[in-house]
Amino acid sequence: MDRRKFLAYLGRSAVVLTFLGQGFAYFRALVPNTLYEPPKKFRIGYPKDYPEGITFVAKHRLFVVREGKSFWVISAICQHLGCTVNIVPPKQEVVKIKGQEYHQKWEFFCPCHGSMYYGEGTNYGGPAPRPLPWYKVDVGPDGQLVVDTNTEVDHKFRLIVENL
Ligand code: FES
Same domain for 11 and 89: no
Rounded to whole angstroms, the Cα distance separating 58 from 4 reads: 72
Same domain for 19 and 56: no
Rounded to whole angstroms, the Cα distance separating 133 from 136 reads: 10
- Could you tell me if the CB of 81 is within 6 A of ligand 1? yes
Same domain for 23 and 63: no
Q: What is the pTM of this model?
A: 0.79
Rounded to whole angstroms, the Cα distance separating 56 from 154 reads: 20
Q: What separation in angstroms does the CA of 121 have from each of 58, 77, 83, 102, 157?
A: 17, 11, 15, 11, 13
| Ligand 1 geometric centre to CA of 25 (Å) | 40
Range of the domain at 14: 1-35
Cβ proximity of 107 and 124 under 8 Å: no
| Ligand 1 geometric centre to CA of 34 (Å) | 30
Same domain for 133 and 81: yes
Q: Which atom of ligand 1 is nearest to the CA of 78?
A: 2
Q: Which atom of ligand 1 is nearest to the CA of 110?
A: 2
Same domain for 59 and 2: no
Same domain for 125 and 59: yes
Burial class, 112, CB count within 10 angstroms (exposed 0-12 / middle 13-18 / buried 19+): middle
Domain count, the chain: 2
- Could you tell me if the CB of 161 is within 6 A of ligand 1? no
Which residues on neighbouring strands pair with residue 148, listed in sequence order?
41, 136
Kindly give the confidence (pLDDT) of every residue in the chain, 164 residues in length, as a single tens digit, with 9 standing for 90 and above.
Answer: 788 898 999 999 999 999 999 999 988 888 877 777 888 999 999 999 999 999 999 999 999 999 999 999 999 999 999 999 999 999 999 999 989 999 999 999 999 999 999 999 999 999 999 999 999 999 999 999 999 999 999 999 999 999 87
Q: Which atom of ligand 1 is nearest to the CA of 81?
A: 1
- Could you tell me if the CB of 77 is within 6 A of ligand 1? no
Same domain for 104 and 63: yes
Rounded to whole angstroms, the Cα distance separating 29 from 102 reads: 52
Same domain for 30 and 46: no
| Ligand 1 geometric centre to CA of 134 (Å) | 18
Rounded to whole angstroms, the Cα distance separating 50 from 68 reads: 10
What is the CATH number for 145?
A: 2.102.10.10
Cβ proximity of 61 and 76 under 8 Å: yes
Same domain for 132 and 66: yes
